[in-house]
Amino acid sequence: MMLLLVMMLCGVSLALNFCYDDERCDPYAWGDNYPSCHPLLESHHSPINLNRQLTKNGSLDSLNLEGFSLTPKGQWRLVNQGYSVVLEVGNGMQVSGGGLPGIYRTVQLHFHWGSVFTSGSEHTLDHLRFPMEMHIVNIKSTHPNLTSALEDPTGLAVLGVFIDVTSLHNENFHPISSALPFVAYKGQTKPIRPFPLINLLPQNNLAQYYRYHGSLTTPPCSQVVLWTVYEVPIDISWGQFDRFVSGIYATQEDENDQVLLHDNYRHIHPTYGRTVYASKDARLLTNSASCLTFFHLLNVLQLLPLLNL
Ligand SMILES: *[C@@H]1O[C@H](CO)[C@@H](O)[C@H](O)[C@H]1NC(C)=O
Ligand SMILES: *[C@@H]1O[C@H](CO)[C@@H](O)[C@H](O)[C@H]1NC(C)=O
Ligand SMILES: [Zn+2]
């Protein structure tokens, strides 16, 4: 019944519970089907803009990223879920410390992106949006499953990593970017050989992050997330970025009207009374603007041929 209703609201071709690019089911309409996504009901939604009004907190050291430097056994799985590409990582990794109230086991990571011409990170730094953002999702170890974690105000810890685009190939990112063509359509999966997850993090700047209490950025928008957003982005190449923005569809392979998945980020929410902490070693955004310039230059260069200049 619910699904039928959603299909009618969103157009049968999409058949998603929610979407990003149709005003009948986009982030501003999520509250219609998922009341907990209604931003006026509560005060701690995500994402937010990270500005200079942060509270430095000297007790926020680097997190313990257990198992992140090892190559786990077994197999991981990359999945096109229609609203993102998700890497399901097996057991063996957990995060703690850095002010987190417990141990959180790592279950998956996924991505948010813009398009060839737009940036698509969820959080913004001084209102600047990065090309992409990666989320590493961790469930508090006292919960057997996601359902029970979503009932706990601090049930999830998500690590957010900004992704910038440069001219250089990122070999650490290759296991993911090279597998993207195999999951072009919704529902497709691709086995991935495990690798050390630390490879995807800003390894020289792990002590620099922001911390606040927020929500899932997709329905049901549960306000149960302790966010750790790293201050320094990782870099991937234009070609690796292009595999996301030009190669991933929100629709299944056999559908007549294909919809490219792009700009899959939720809008910024007010912080209201929340405190947003900066870790002991965070540098408070001092170098964040420069790293975006090159990306925008690239955008302009891409546009030039279209403008016949
Ligand atoms: C610093 O962060 C810790 C962990 O989140 C918190 O318990 C503490 O209250 C914060 N300290 C200040 C001075 O806000
Ligand atoms: C999740 O865990 C809770 C608490 O132990 C349990 O009651 C529930 O049945 C579990 N749900 C699923 C879907 O496994
Ligand atoms: Zn996310």
Q: What is the pLDDT of residues 182-206, one digit of tens each?
A: 999 999 999 999 999 999 999 999 9
Q: How many CB atoms lie within 10 A of CB 103?
A: 17
pTM score of the predicted model: 0.89
CA of 42 to the centre of ligand 1 (A): 22
pLDDT at 69: 98
Asked, for residue 4, whether it belongs to a domain, the answer is: no
Asked, for residue 20, whether it belongs to a domain, the answer is: no
CATH number of the domain where residue 155 is located: 3.10.200.10
Asked, for residue 5, whether it belongs to a domain, the answer is: no
Residue 198's nearest CA partner among 241, 237, 159 is 159
Q: Which atom of ligand 2 is nearest to the CA of 145?
A: 1
Which of 145, 146, 150 has most ligand 2 atoms within 8 Å of CB, for mutation? 145
Domain count, the chain: 1
Asked, for residue 19, whether it belongs to a domain, the answer is: no
Q: What angle do CA 178, 219, 2 make, to 5 degrees?
A: 110
10, 54, 130, 141, 297 from 291: Cα distances, Å: 37, 21, 9, 36, 11
Q: Which atom of ligand 1 is nearest to the CA of 59?
A: 1
Asked, for residue 298, whether it belongs to a domain, the answer is: yes
Note the residue count of the chain: 309
Asked, for residue 150, whether it belongs to a domain, the answer is: yes
Q: Which atom of ligand 1 is nearest to the CA of 58?
A: 1
Which 3 state secondary structure label does DSSP give 62? coil
CA of 139 to the centre of ligand 2 (A): 14
Mean pLDDT of the chain: 89
Q: How remote is the C-alpha of 154 from its chain's centroid? A: 18
Helices (H) and strands (E) in the chain, counts: 6, 16
Determine the structural domain holding residue 114 and report its residue range. Answer: 42-304
Report which bound ligand comes closest to the CA of 214.
3
Q: Is the CB of residue 280 below 6 angstroms from any atom belonging to ligand 1?
A: no
pLDDT at 144: 94
Asked, for residue 154, whether it belongs to a domain, the answer is: yes
Which tokens is 181 given? 């063509």
Q: What gap in Å lies between CA 87 and CA 78, rounded to an integer?
A: 4
pLDDT in tens, 96-137: 999 999 999 999 999 999 999 999 999 999 999 999 999 999
